[in-house]
C-alpha cells in the first residue's frame, strides 16, 4: 500500500473538514484507491489554538519551510483565502516541486495563467475541484464525464449565500437586508458578504468553468457581473407574478460571434429545474451536444462538502491520474483567449417593469414602442392601480438582441409614458 504524506496550509473551516474525513474515514481511501493518506505537516498561523481535533500523524507549525523542505510531502492542500499571501504560498510550493490542491477560486481566476505556467515548469499540477461549487464534482464532470460533448451552455447557481437570501426573500417576502441578516445568523453568509452578494465570487467560479468548457483564457475584467444587493421585495413579487423566481445566474453560452458570459439576477421560469435549487444549495445545468441537459445539485460550501472535493483531488493527484488528465486539457496554459460577445449582441429573453399613470393609451403606447423595436412579448401583466393612480405594467419578452430590447426601453422612458425609470432584468 502506498503511503502518501500530505501537507496542509490553512486550518480553518475546510481544513477542519479535511482533518475530520482523514481521521474518520482513512480506511475508505485504502479500500477504494489503495492509498494510505496521512497528514504529515499542518501549517497554520495559530498552531497553539485548540480545535478539538489533533491528527496523530501531524506536526503542527506556523513555519511553512518545514513543509517546503520535506521531500516526503509531494502534495500540499492549500486552503488559504485571498490572493496575496495565498499566491506567495502557492508559488513557494510549486517552486519546491509540490503538487497543489486548492479551494481558492479568486486565486485561480485572477492568477491562473501565471500559476499554471509555473506548475508546468516544475512538472507539478494544481487541482481545484473544491474551487467551484464545493461538494458538486463539476470540474470532474466537465473534464471527464462530459468529454464527448461540445458544451452548448452552462447555466449555474454558484453562490449559496445569494441563493439562501433569494430563497428567503421569495418564501417569506423578506426584504434583502433582513434575509442577509438571517443568512449571517445561520452561518451561511460571511460577516463581510460583499464578494458574495456583489457577484464577484460567482464570476470567479464562472471564469474557471468557462475556461475548462471552452479551452482558453477568459478575460475576467470583461466578464459582466451584477449582484443581488440592489434587488427589492418588489422584484421578487414581480417575478412571481410572471411565473418565475429570481436566482443569481451565471451564464456561459457559446455562439459563432463570441462567448456570452455574465453573472446577473435572472428570472427563472418556475418549471425550470434550476428554479427548485433553493436555500444554500448550488445547481449547475450543463447543456452538452451529446448528453443533452445535465443538472448537478449540491452544497457549494461548508467544511465537509468542500473537503469532499479537496480529497477527491488529493486521490487523483496521489494516483498520478490528475497530472495525466490536466496536461491533456492544458486548462490554464492555453495562449488562446476566448472572445466574449458584447452585451449588445446577446440574444436573451428579458423582463421590464414600467411604472405608469393609469390613463387611456398608456398600454397601447408601450406595446407600440416595443413592437416598433421588434420586441415580441411573451407575457404581459398589469396590476390594479394604487390610490395615486399609478399602475405597474410588466412584460416578459421572447429572446431578442439586447441592443433592440434596451433601445425599446430607452424610447419608452423618453416618451413620457413612464413615471420612473423602467426596471429591467434578464429572463432565462
Ligand atoms: N461564500 C460562497 C458561498 C462559498 O456562499 O457559496 C465559497 O465560494
> Measured from the CB, is residue 196 less than 6 Å from ligand 1?
yes
> Measured from the CB, is residue 283 less than 6 Å from ligand 1?
no
Mean pLDDT of the chain: 95
pLDDT in tens, 50-91: 998 888 889 999 999 999 999 999 999 999 999 999 999 999
> Measured from the CB, is residue 201 less than 6 Å from ligand 1?
yes
**Mapping DSSP to helix (H, G, I), strand (E, B) and coil, where does residue 334 land?**
coil
**Residue to probe by mutation, ligand 1, list 159, 162, 279, most atoms within 8 Å of CB:** 159
> Measured from the CB, is residue 299 less than 6 Å from ligand 1?
no
Residues 87, 98, 205, 253: which is the catalytic one?
205
- 2-135+322-328 classified as CATH 3.40.50.720: yes
The residue to which cell 481545484 is assigned: 128
The residue nearest atom 4 of ligand 1, judged by CA position, is 301
For 138-300, which CATH superfamily applies?
Dihydrodipicolinate Reductase; domain 2 (3.30.360.10)
Q: Output the pTM of the full model.
A: 0.95
> Measured from the CB, is residue 193 less than 6 Å from ligand 1?
no
- CA-CA distance, 296 to 284, in Å (whole number)? 5
* Cβ contact 126:119 at 8 Å: yes
Stretch(es) of the chain classified as CATH 3.30.70.260: 346-427
**Residue 295 Cα, ligand 1 centroid: separation in angstroms?**
19
Stretch(es) of the chain classified as CATH 3.30.360.10: 138-300
> Measured from the CB, is residue 346 less than 6 Å from ligand 1?
no
For 346-427, which CATH superfamily applies?
ACT domain (3.30.70.260)
Stretch(es) of the chain classified as CATH 3.40.50.720: 2-135+322-328
Active site residue 205: yes
The residue nearest atom 8 of ligand 1, judged by CA position, is 201
Residue 141 pLDDT class (50, 70, 90 cuts) = very high
Length of the chain: 428
**Residue 201 Cα, ligand 1 centroid: separation in angstroms?**
7
**Which of 77, 54, 151, 63 has its CA nearest to residue 314?**
77
Amino acid 217: pLDDT: 87
Neighbouring CB atoms inside 10 A of 36's CB total: 15
Residue 113 pLDDT class (50, 70, 90 cuts) = confident
Supply φ then ψ for residue 36, to 5 degrees.
Answer: -100, 90
Residue 326 pLDDT class (50, 70, 90 cuts) = low
The residue nearest atom 2 of ligand 1, judged by CA position, is 159
* Cβ contact 162:197 at 8 Å: yes
Amino acid at each position: 500500500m502506498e503511503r502518501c504524506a500530505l501537507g496542509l496550509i490553512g486550518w480553518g473551516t475546510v481544513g477542519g473538514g479535511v482533518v475530520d474525513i482523514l481521521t474518520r474515514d482513512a480506511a475508505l481511501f485504502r479500500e477504494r484507491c489503495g492509498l494510505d493518506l496521512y497528514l504529515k505537516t499542518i501549517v497554520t498561523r495559530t498552531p497553539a489554538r485548540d480545535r478539538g481535533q489533533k491528527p496523530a500523524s501531524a506536526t503542527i507549525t506556523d513555519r511553512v519551510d518545514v513543509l517546503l523542505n520535506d521531500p516526503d510531502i509531494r502534495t500540499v492542500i492549500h486552503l488559504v483565502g485571498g490572493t496575496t499571501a495565498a499566491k506567495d504560498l502557492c508559488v513557494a510550493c510549486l517552486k519546491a516541486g509540490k503538487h497543489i490542491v486548492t479551494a481558492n477560486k479568486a486565486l485561480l481566476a485572477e492568477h491562473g495563467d501565471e500559476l499554471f505556467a509555473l506548475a508546468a515548469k516544475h512538472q507539478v499540477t494544481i487541482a481545484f475541484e473544491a474551487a467551484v461549487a464545493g461538494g458538486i464534482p463539476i470540474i470532474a464532470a466537465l473534464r471527464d464525464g462530459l468529454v464527448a460533448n461540445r458544451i452548448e451552455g452552462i447555466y449555474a447557481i454558484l453562490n449559496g449565500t445569494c441563493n439562501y437570501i433569494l430563497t428567503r426573500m421569495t418564501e417569506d417576502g423578506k426584504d434583502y437586508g433582513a434575509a442577509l441578516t438571517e443568512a449571517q445568523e445561520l452561518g451561511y453568509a460571511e460577516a463581510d458578504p460583499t464578494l458574495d452578494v456583489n457577484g464577484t465570487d460567482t464570476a470567479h467560479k464562472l471564469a474557471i468553468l468557462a475556461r475548462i468548457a471552452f479551452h482558453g483564457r477568459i478575460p475576467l475584467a470583461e466578464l459582466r457581473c451584477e449582484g443581488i444587493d440592489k434587488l427589492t421585495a418588489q422584484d421578487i413579487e414581480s417575478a412571481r407574478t410572471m411565473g418565475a423566481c429570481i436566482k443569481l445566474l451565471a451564464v456561459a453560452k457559446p455562439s459563432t460571434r463570441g462567448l456570452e458570459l455574465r453573472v446577473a439576477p435572472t428570472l427563472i421560469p418556475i418549471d425550470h429545474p434550476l428554479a427548485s435549487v433553493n436555500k444554500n444549495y448550488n445547481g449547475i445545468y450543463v447543456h452538452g451536444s451529446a448528453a443533452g441537459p445535465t443538472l448537478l445539485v449540491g452544497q457549494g460550501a461548508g467544511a465537509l462538502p468542500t473537503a469532499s472535493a479537496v480529497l477527491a483531488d488529493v486521490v487523483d493527484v496521489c494516483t498520478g491520474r490528475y497530472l495525466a488528465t490536466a496536461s491533456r486539457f492544458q486548462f490554464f496554459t492555453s495562449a488562446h483567449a476566448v472572445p466574449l460577445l458584447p452585451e449588445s449582441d446577446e440574444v436573451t429573453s428579458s423582463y421590464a417593469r414600467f411604472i405608469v399613470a393609469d390613463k387611456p393609451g398608456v398600454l397601447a403606447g408601450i406595446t407600440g414602442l416595443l413592437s416598433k423595436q421588434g420586441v415580441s412579448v411573451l407575457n404581459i401583466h398589469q396590476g390594479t392601480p394604487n390610490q395615486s393612480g399609478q399602475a405597474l405594467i410588466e412584460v416578459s419578452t421572447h429572446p431578442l438582441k439586447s441592443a433592440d430590447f434596451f433601445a425599446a426601453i430607452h424610447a419608452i422612458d423618453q416618451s413620457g409614458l413612464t413615471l420612473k425609470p423602467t426596471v429591467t432584468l434578464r429572463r432565462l
